[in-house]
Amino acid sequence: MSKLSFSPLHVNGMTIDNVFSLIKTSVDIAILVRTNLGEMLDAALTQLIADNESFGQQINKNQKSELTDNLKPLDKDRDATQAEINRAVTFYSKGSDETKKAAAQKLKLFLTPYWDAASLPLNTQTGVLSKMIDKYKISPELMAAAKVIGIDELFTALETKNNAFDAVYKGRNDEVSGRETSGSSLKPAAVASYNSFCTVLEQAVNLMPNDTNVALFNHLDLLRKKYHAMEGGSKDTPAPDNAPAK
């Protein structure tokens, strides 16, 4: 059996937002199989979660402090609209009207991965909401469910507000450049923890392979390839045999 090695990815050279998003998605995938990871991988995952949470909190705090007066209301407005959607879904999913209850439960299952988007770094939040809305708009069942409980217009409003925020945010050249320093002091710790987790996972799939570890490796490797393409890949070099690309 050939030795498995993660695809190269220059994580330390990635943007602040993309580093956070890469690690957040990797953590979300790993948590689904956490009970089967083994002691070493679980310890590495615990450290990765802690470091990335601190990293994300600093990014969000710094980005919010950089917002101009015309951006703050836009961010607050989209947060309020998503919160209204969440409240309605929660309310009707516990109600006595079986038709509305079924519709709300279908929406809650869909919305669960996006439920706390407002707590994410601002640019990550924009992307997460855009992804959520795109999936909603191509699903006749989800749109019908939203109409049943009367929140279809809220989804439309959330899309409008998220796009409005994104347009203004991208137009602020000074703040765009400022975002790259937001969270920079905690980026090295988050990147180091991510690389450590990848190293431990590589060792696990090569020394003690099982279906869970191999499947997790494959999922995370696909994610690395995605971010490699997003970042252009020009800075990447092959990793040594005993370590993932940095």
* Residue ranges per structural domain of the chain: 11-63+183-231, 69-171
Calculate the alpha carbon distances from 39 to 50, 68, 142, 200 in Å: 17, 46, 40, 11
**What's the pLDDT score for residue 65?**
62
**What's the pLDDT score for residue 21?**
87
**What's the pLDDT score for residue 18?**
86
pLDDT digits (tens, 9 = 90+) for 172-200: 645 545 544 455 778 889 999 999 999 99
Q: Which residue has the tokens 């600093």?
A: 58
- Structure-model confidence comparison of residues 24 and 69, the more confident one: 24
Q: Which residue has the tokens 């601002």?
A: 122
Burial readout 189-212 (b: 16 or more C-beta within 10 A, e: otherwise)? ebbbbbbbbbbbbbbbbbeeeeeb
Phi-psi region of 25 (alpha: psi -120 to 50; beta: other; left: phi over 0): alpha
**What's the pLDDT score for residue 201?**
93
What would the DSSP string read from start to end of 107-153?
HHHHHGGGTTGGGS-HHHHHHHHHHHHHHHHT-HHHHHHHHHTT-HH
- Structure-model confidence comparison of residues 54 and 67, the more confident one: 54
**Nearest by Cα to 44 from 226, 223, 213, 236:** 213
- Structure-model confidence comparison of residues 33 and 67, the more confident one: 33
Determine which of 60-64, 156-160, 172-176 has the lowest per-residue pLDDT on average: 172-176
- Structure-model confidence comparison of residues 151 and 38, the more confident one: 151
Per-chain mean pLDDT for the chain: 84
Look at residue 167 and tell me whether its pLDDT is greater than 70: yes
Determine which of 24-28, 61-65, 138-142 has the lowest per-residue pLDDT on average: 61-65
**What's the pLDDT score for residue 245?**
42
| Rounded average pLDDT over 37-63 | 86
Top-ranked range on mean pLDDT: pick from 112-116, 118-122, 143-147: 143-147
| Rounded average pLDDT over 94-101 | 92
**Token pair of 35 as six digits:** 């009970």
Q: Which residue has the tokens 């002091």?
A: 185
- Structure-model confidence comparison of residues 83 and 122, the more confident one: 83
pLDDT cut 70: percent of the chain above it: 85
